[in-house]
């Protein structure tokens, strides 16, 4: 339980809207709230800076809905990743105010207001990589960050990248999402001083091997300093970016 929640409970006791017994019960709630199929860590955000996230693959719609309900009952953002259309339909029918992203396979409910902008550039080599970018973007928004989206500037048309270098350099951190041979991360690392998190995608032909080729290409980048996430792991890249941003002074947003 975070400090604002404790303060709210104590205020309710002071005003007479909550009895001492009721307050004691609320304050003694276990941080790990248990359902028949899941144990929800409601203090993860206080401990690590990132809220509990629901991985949708392998869970039924009813199981996901029950976990989401626990999170919003605890005044937290509820982010679900890797959901198919059936689960997405069930979630939006249950929680009509949520944001279901079919391309990114995410569902986001009760996010905080955006309070940090212009720090992270979310760059895609091609339009075919957007499904990973959408997952990454939803994760950032679940933590109150708004990334700058720069799409379809892969190395097959290098002039597209060079024409946006000044814009790219204005950011504090870059998430680079690329399939095929994954060369964009290396090219960027040779042009900017900004930290780069590379995300290889399972987009490509033949010996691309469902993302292994760009993964190995980014790991073996000849431009040093590229940090690489797992294949298609937009969520992991966003969390890494958020942890880096925690070390940076907060930028004033309008």
Strand-pairing partners, residue 149, are 122
DSSP letters along 172-226, please?
SEEEEEE-TT-HHHHHHHTT--S-EEEEE-S--SGGGGGGHHHHHHHHT-SSTTE
Mean pLDDT in residue range 54-74: 91
- Residue 56: CB partners within 8 Å, gap ≥ 6? 64, 80, 81, 82, 83, 84, 87, 105, 107
pLDDT at residue 254, as a whole number: 45
pLDDT at residue 167, as a whole number: 94
* Torsion from C-alpha of 23, 29, 31, 35, nearest 10 degrees: -140
Average pLDDT, the chain: 87
Q: Does 71 have pLDDT greater than 60?
A: yes
pLDDT at residue 75, as a whole number: 82
- Residue 254: CB partners within 8 Å, gap ≥ 6? none
Strand-pairing partners, residue 206, are none
pLDDT at residue 95, as a whole number: 95
pLDDT at residue 247, as a whole number: 74
pLDDT at residue 32, as a whole number: 52
One-letter-per-residue 3-state SS of 48-90: HCCCCEEECCCCCHHHHHHHHHHHHHCCCCEEEECCCHHHHHH
Sequence-ordered strand ranges (E) for 125-170: 145-150
Q: Does 240 have pLDDT greater than 80?
A: yes
pLDDT at residue 17, as a whole number: 78
Yes or no: say if 185 and 178 are a contact pair by the CB < 8 Å rule.
Answer: yes
CATH number assigned to the domain covering 116-245: 3.40.50.1970
| Angstrom distance (rounded) from CA 192 to CA 18 | 56
Q: Which residue would you say has higher pLDDT here, 106 or 46?
A: 106
| Angstrom distance (rounded) from CA 229 to CA 169 | 22
Strand-pairing partners, residue 178, are 200
Q: Which residue would you say has higher pLDDT here, 50 or 167?
A: 167
**C-alpha pair distances (Å), 11 with each of 23, 76, 88:** 10, 20, 38
Residue carrying structure tokens 């760059």: 123
pLDDT at residue 51, as a whole number: 76
pTM of the model: 0.81
Mean pLDDT in residue range 201-209: 90
Give pLDDT tens digits for 11-41: 788 888 778 777 766 655 555 555 555 666 6
**Nearest-10 crossing angle of helices 3-15, 20-27:** 170
Q: How many CA atoms lie within 13 A of 174 on its CB side?
A: 29
The ranges assigned to domains in the chain are: 29-109, 116-245
Q: Does 46 have pLDDT greater than 70?
A: no
pLDDT at residue 5, as a whole number: 66
Q: Does 238 have pLDDT greater than 60?
A: yes
With a pLDDT cut of 70, the percent of the chain lying above it is 84
């Amino acid at each position: 339980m975070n400090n604002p929640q404790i303060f709210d409970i104590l205020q309710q006791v002071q005003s007479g809207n909550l009895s001492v017994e009721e307050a004691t019960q609320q304050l003694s709630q276990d941080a790990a709230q248990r359902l028949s199929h899941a144990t929800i860590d409601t203090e993860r955000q206080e401990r690590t800076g990132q809220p509990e996230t629901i991985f949708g693959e392998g869970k039924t719609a009813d199981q996901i809905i029950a976990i989401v309900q626990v999170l919003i009952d605890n005044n937290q953002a509820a982010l679900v990743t890797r959901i198919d259309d059936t689960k997405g339909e069930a979630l939006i029918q249950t929680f009509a105010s949520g944001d279901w992203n079919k391309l990114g396979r995410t569902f986001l409910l009760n996010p905080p207001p955006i309070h940090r902008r212009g720090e992270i550039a979310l760059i895609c080599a091609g339009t075919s990589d957007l499904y990973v970018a959408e997952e990454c973007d939803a994760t950032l928004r679940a933590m109150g960050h708004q990334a700058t989206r720069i799409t379809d500037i892969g190395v097959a048309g290098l002039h597209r990248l060079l024409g946006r270098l000044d814009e790219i350099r204005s950011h504090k951190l870059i998430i680079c999402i690329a399939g095929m041979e994954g060369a964009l991360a290396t090219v960027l690392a040779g042009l900017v001083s900004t930290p780069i998190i590379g995300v290889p995608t399972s987009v490509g032909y033949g010996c691309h091997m469902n993302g292994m080729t760009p993964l190995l290409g980014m790991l073996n980048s000849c431009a040093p300093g590229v940090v690489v996430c797992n294949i298609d792991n937009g969520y992991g890249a966003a969390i890494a970016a958020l942890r880096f941003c925690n070390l940076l002074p907060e930028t004033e947003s309008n």
